[in-house]
Amino acid sequence: MPLHPEYDAMLRQLAEVDGPPLVDLPVQAGREMYRAMQPEAGEIAVGSIEDVDAAGVPARVYRPAGDGPFAVTMMFHGGGWVIGDLVTADCQSREVCNGAATLVVSVDYRLAPEHCFPAAADDCYAATGWAVEHAADYGGDPRRLAVAGDSAGGNLAAVVAQMARDRQGPTIAFQLLVYPVTDGVHFETASYRDNGDGFLLTADSMHWFWNHYAPNVEDRRNPYASPLLAGDFSNLPPALVMTAEFDPLRDEGEAYAHKLEAAGVPVELVRYDGFIHGFFGQTRTIAAARPAMEKACMALKAAFAA
């Protein structure tokens, strides 16, 4: 399909601004730019919000209105493990909290290059363990637990699911993987070739992210960095994998879904034709992105009801 008209207009507007590419910015400037692009969404009301210390990892708990106990969804933000924080994940956290009627624990994991692999993965796994232990304090039901994330956050959700399987807990009921990063070794896919420039997320920026997160190239072969390179995909939680047509990460996300399916894991793969990377957090600005968010929330609700 052609690029969706809303995304075509957005990319044209960004081109007119003609700002420096992310790879040419100092890391801190990149973080500030991303935060400006993804501000908090206070207009989306939820029952309550509380900042917490989740086993030494800063996190934010979103509680839906009404009476619990609520299922628990861990939310890991995108941003290439280098940029992004609780602010940039605020909109999607509120949307999922309301749309899936779930407690959302958004995790402010350590960022690279100050903290390289495996810091982010370790933080997300630790925070997930904390959430299981403390969910009841916030009206949550730890027996209904999901991991979710977009881009690098999708990577971390897949990795935490693998960690939980390998370490015998906690039990995860579902994984929501939105255009996940799954492979830090192979960059020759058709989606990298066709979508590596001109669609917001570029091939150059992905190399920039990986060079900060896992500067030791051998680390990228570790399945907890590149979950697509795992030797075993069995006994992982059911998954919804969402990809975008005009995204360099499309093929590796879809390859991960196929690996899960081949291992007997229930998985639904949905490609959003005409979309670019980033749609999960754009429900306020791109109307076409709303059905994707609704799909994600419905999948979470169905998993929690199973």
End-to-end CA separation in angstroms for the chain: 35
CA torsion angle for 80, 188, 157, 233 (degrees, to 10)?
-160
Residue 47 belongs to a domain with what CATH number?
A: 3.40.50.1820
Q: What pLDDT, on a 0 to 100 scale, did the predictor assign at position 18?
A: 73
* pTM, two decimal places: 0.97
Show the beta-strand stretches assigned E in the chain. 48-54, 57-63, 70-76, 102-107, 140-150, 174-178, 239-246, 267-276
Q: Which residues contact 175 (CB under 8 A, 6 or more apart)?
A: 146, 147, 148, 157, 158, 161, 236, 237, 238, 239, 240
Question: Helix, strand or coil for residue 267?
Answer: strand
Residue 170 · residue 145 · CB < 8 Å: yes
Nearest to 145 by CA among 166, 175, 124: 175
Q: What pLDDT, on a 0 to 100 scale, did the predictor assign at position 257?
A: 98
Q: From residue 3, how far is each of 7, 21, 167, 210, 277 by CA, in Å?
A: 7, 21, 42, 27, 12
Nearest to 109 by CA among 90, 91, 126: 126
Q: What is the pLDDT along the chain (306 residues), one digit of tens a residue?
A: 799 999 999 999 888 877 788 899 999 999 999 999 999 999 999 999 999 999 999 999 999 999 989 999 999 999 999 999 999 999 999 999 999 999 999 999 999 999 999 999 999 999 999 999 999 999 999 999 999 999 999 999 999 999 999 999 999 999 999 999 999 999 999 999 999 999 999 999 999 999 999 999 999 999 999 999 999 999 999 999 999 999 999 999 999 999 999 999 999 999 999 999 999 999 999 999 999 999 999 999 999 998
Residue 146 · residue 71 · CB < 8 Å: yes
Give the range of the structural domain holding residue 223, as residue numbers without chain letter.
5-305
The half-sphere exposure of 2 on its side-chain side, counting CA atoms within 13 A, is 5
Q: What pLDDT, on a 0 to 100 scale, did the predictor assign at position 173?
A: 98
Residue 38 amino acid letter: Q
Q: What pLDDT, on a 0 to 100 scale, did the predictor assign at position 15?
A: 84
Q: What pLDDT, on a 0 to 100 scale, did the predictor assign at position 45?
A: 97
The DSSP-derived string for 37-80 is HS---TTS--SEEEEEEETTEEEEEEE-SS--PEEEEEEE--ST
Residue 257 · residue 267 · CB < 8 Å: yes
Longest Cα–Cα distance of the chain, Å, equals 51
Q: What pLDDT, on a 0 to 100 scale, did the predictor assign at position 68?
A: 85
Residues with a known catalytic role: 151, 247, 277
Q: What pLDDT, on a 0 to 100 scale, did the predictor assign at position 20?
A: 85
Write down the residue that tokens 């609780």 correspond to.
Answer: 86
Residue 157 · residue 76 · CB < 8 Å: yes
How many structural domains does the chain have? 1
Rg (alpha carbons) of the chain, rounded to whole number = 18
